[in-house]
Structure 1
């Protein structure tokens, strides 16, 4: 009899839960489809020299401004100002139906956590707090999205990177100040610092002005930071990019040669001001690949040692002619410093774009990005232009023109 009473009491407790705990699950997503003209993309090599041709192509969100996705977002109010939350977000290719992020089912984000009066705590696969909190100050937070990021998105303001095994905290807004932190456990037995990633960020917003600063530190970045997609390899594989072949183009030549770095550090500062219909923003990035030559982290065919440094400054402006029609422009300058045996390189990039909102959920857009490179890049070759998410040019310049549509649901 006592067992029966306990069972009835337990069942009553379960069925009573909805009376004091409200929950919701939301299906959401974004589809980005467009037509690209690219002045030059690498097609391989001939006689040892890079070969490239112009390209016309349909391109979906994998290389578009939004990143096509669908996701599930849930929340349960458990009382006292606390909510249990989760997000599962999938990236996909609309032209082929294939999975993005190297074939991962929920490659964009996958986390669970608790929303509290002090802030949000989550665990799982997530963006760093730096890309979360500072991207809005950069061109990647404007009309062009991550295609307008700095060359090869070396500072992750274009949200190219997701970090696995993370614990993340983002505070509530206290008098305009928000702080955040993330730590990723490397999970290597006997070596707790191996493959770890941590980042910190803080922003301040008051009226029309906003500013922020952030820092990322990734140990063995070829594995812990750039090697988190489903098709990533181990320390013998370059997860940061590729030198190409006779039939394939290079990827991320701005930094692909630095896969043997022991540590990758990023320091970013940004600000934005709203002058009515005009918005002005700017960012500064200092990034360093330290301890090069660590082949337990990644390959080093160039036999680099020491540190490679990238510095970038960017300014951007957006003007709203009407609430539905926006025009944007930006300029960025990136310099790879000469350290030890490294040659110097520089990348200048200009962006012009416009967006027209047909409704709250659908917009048309057009953008043009031009990049000019000079010097010697990370692969030890005359620097080639490499707009984020495109196949690198075989020359020192590259032009992209894109017409597209974004629909959210």
Structure 2
């Protein structure tokens, strides 16, 4: 009922204020997903959002004059396989923000993506963090590394190929440092080359409350150097990440997916990715190899590779197939994920369809 009321309100706003340039958009994505190698056994299912998370969104802008405009985005995640909202108790859980844009850049407030995540999506990962070959398999692209609430962000205009972004998420506790997260990125793009450096800092402290003592933890920090180059016949992608501190690199599936030695999230690790995307007939072939170098005493390293093919049926509709495999070392617990699920085993495949509107 809440989602229906919100949609009706947004539709009403779009009709009554057409001059505000309001648009309805979305993605409908469903796939047959196979997972192999986990202790729970083999699993085959129908999943929503293996390639790109299914969603329904509203975005718009209004020219305020003098080179200034207002903008907003409200985006709800949906599960195509069941028709449910993808996060219980929420409506616009994916994005919800409002902001102002001028010639000096844009400022937005609300629930937003982190600079770390957008760097992975737009520069590093040929799979754009989706499908079985996703960088989520080894890179820490989950939780608040992806998006944060209570966020103030700034994005600069691009000048001579250079642009930057900053974000600050308030922890909203009595200690201003507790629970806060901030990050940024600076990039350079010209012709066929794109390079970007992103940083993320996460405070997981909790202040004392009543008889509950305070919890102090080390900062979780992520640094990501990203680049890609388009040769025309092939586009090459590369990424190098440094993850240090508490909760810097949470496991996608922390539920001991392989039995035996319980995997431990790395607090000192390095992530490497080399990938490509290239035209093949009417479609596109994607591929990547990754390595996780865990520098803690557990030494839980992992290697991963993935391959995929995207076949367009039109500008809005495409079919896809993807396959990936992970080799875990010393009890590491990395699983083959997709855009919306963390996975249950070290091998996985997707056969799906994606439509945008």
Aligned position for 2:232: 276
The one of 53, 56, 65 aligned to 2:41 = 53
Aligned position for 2:344: 392
Distance 1:180 1:138, change over 3 A: same
For the pair 1:113 / 2:99, whether they are aligned, the reply is yes
The one of 277, 290, 297 aligned to 1:318 = 277
**Counterpart-to-counterpart distance in 1, 2:122 and 2:79:** 25
The CA RMSD over aligned residues, in Å, is: 2.7
Aligned position for 1:198: 182
Cα drift, residue 199 of structure 1? 0.2
The one of 310, 318, 323 aligned to 1:363 = 318
2:197–2:226 CA contact under 8 A, matched in 1: yes
Cα drift, residue 98 of structure 1? 1.3
Q: Which stretches of structure 1, 4 residues or longer, exceed 6 Å deviation after superposition?
A: 157-160
> Paired residues, what number?
316
Secondary structure, aligned partner of 2:118: helix
Considering Cα pairs closer than 8 Å and 6+ residues apart, tell me whether 1 or 2 has the greater RCO: 2
Aligned position for 1:31: 28
Larger radius of gyration, structure 1 or 2? Answer: 1
Cα drift, residue 65 of structure 1? 1.5
Aligned position for 1:295: none
**Counterpart-to-counterpart distance in 1, 2:309 and 2:344:** 24
Distance 1:385 1:219, change over 3 A: closer
Q: Could you give the per-residue CA deviations for residues 347-371 of structure 1, whole angstroms, max 9, x where no partner exists?
A: 1110000001111100111000111
Residues 199-278 of structure 1: pairs in structure 2 closer than 5 A: 199-220=183-204, 261-278=217-234
Residues 7-406 of structure 1: pairs in structure 2 closer than 5 A: 22-41=19-38, 51-61=39-49, 64-139=50-125, 141-142=126-127, 145=130, 147-152=132-137, 154-156=139-141, 161-189=146-174, 191-220=175-204, 261-290=217-246, 308-322=267-281, 324-338=282-296, 342-375=297-330, 382-388=331-337, 389-393=341-345, 398-406=346-354
**Counterpart-to-counterpart distance in 1, 2:283 and 2:150:** 41
Q: Normalised by the size of structure 2, how large is the TM-score?
A: 0.82
Q: Normalised by the size of structure 1, how large is the TM-score?
A: 0.72
